Amino acid sequence: MDIREVLSGGDLRSVGHVDAVVTFVGNDPDRFNELMTGLTDDCPIVRMRSADAMEKVTRHYPALLQAHQASLFQQLHRATQQEVRRHLAQLMPRLMWTEDEAADIVHVLTDWFDTETSNIVIVNSLQAIFDLSTMHPRFRDELKVLLESRLETGSPAVKSRSKKLLQKL
């Protein structure tokens, strides 16, 4: 199976054949490498679907991310496509980060609140910061302030997630 070819076609409103790719990749590091390559593809549809497939595969096989930790950290800083950003936010808490790396990730995700128009990106970023704060408790105070501010200014989806996360804090 040519993963890139299967992920191509259609438009950004559909996931295409991502589920077939997820099944095909499974726990195979070589096939997972192809998804990583897809994150930097010239085609926005391939980038989006590669990120989606990566997120779905690593729900069951998070260890596949470890070999790509440095690259994912770079992608987090470079990605401008909202469909990729939302999945990168989901991937970050699945890896072990130093305090400094985690602080940098939280900073990037927080910056997205001011620049991002996608509520999905914002919701996933809030969730990622919450998840990172379970491993790095120093972010809890900052997270509480972020969540409280989103209760006031966020979309209905952002307000709802903020409320749920505040209850768990």
Tens digit of each residue's pLDDT (9 = 90 or more) over 52-78: 999 999 999 999 999 999 999 999 999
pTM of this prediction? 0.92
Decide if pLDDT at 5 tops 90.
Answer: no
pLDDT score for 113? 87
Residue 164: band (very low, low, confident or very high) from pLDDT cuts 50, 70, 90: very high
Tens digit of each residue's pLDDT (9 = 90 or more) over 109-118: 999 988 888 9
Residue 6: band (very low, low, confident or very high) from pLDDT cuts 50, 70, 90: confident
Tens digit of each residue's pLDDT (9 = 90 or more) over 77-113: 999 999 999 999 999 999 999 999 999 999 999 999 8
Distance CA 24, CA 145 (A): 42
Tens digit of each residue's pLDDT (9 = 90 or more) over 129-148: 999 999 999 999 989 999 99
Residue 1: band (very low, low, confident or very high) from pLDDT cuts 50, 70, 90: confident
User: Which tokens sit at 121?
Assistant: 């990106």
Map residue 17 onto helix, strand or coil: coil
Per DSSP, the residues of 113-167 read HHH---HHHHHHHHHHHHHHHHH-GGGHHHHHHHHHHHHHHS-HHHHHHHHHHHH
